[in-house]
Amino acid sequence: MRQNLRALYDHLVPHLGRWRAEILDGRLIVSPLGTPENQWMALLLADAFLPLARERGWRVYPGLDVCLPGSRDPFEPDFVMAPKDAPRWGVREVFTDGLVMVGEIVSPGSAEDDRDKKPGIYAGGGVPVMLLVDPLSEPPTVTVFSGLQDGRYTESASVEMGKSLHIPEPVDFELDTVIFLED
DSSP 3-state assignment of 74?
A: strand
Task: Check which CATH number belongs to the domain holding 113 and give it.
Answer: 3.90.1570.10
Bridge partners (DSSP) of residue 75 are 66
Q: Burial, 6: exposed, middle or buried (Cβ in 10 Å; 0-12, 13-18, 19+)?
A: middle
- Which amino acid, residue 169? E
pLDDT at 97 over 80: yes
* Pick from 100, 54, 56, 52: nearest CA to 77: 100
> Which distant-in-sequence residues (6+ apart) come within 8 Å of 125 by Cβ?
66, 68, 69, 95, 96, 97
Whether residue 6 lies inside any domain: the answer is no
Whether residue 7 lies inside any domain: the answer is no
Whether residue 169 lies inside any domain: the answer is yes
What was the pLDDT predicted at 15? Answer: 52
Share of the chain above pLDDT 90, in %: 62
Quick one: pLDDT band at residue 154, thresholds 50, 70, 90? very high
Share of the chain above pLDDT 70, in %: 81
pLDDT at 18 over 70: no
Quick one: pLDDT band at residue 32, thresholds 50, 70, 90? low
Mean pLDDT of 29-33: 58
Q: Burial, 149: exposed, middle or buried (Cβ in 10 Å; 0-12, 13-18, 19+)?
A: exposed
Whether residue 146 lies inside any domain: the answer is yes
pTM to 2 decimals?
0.83
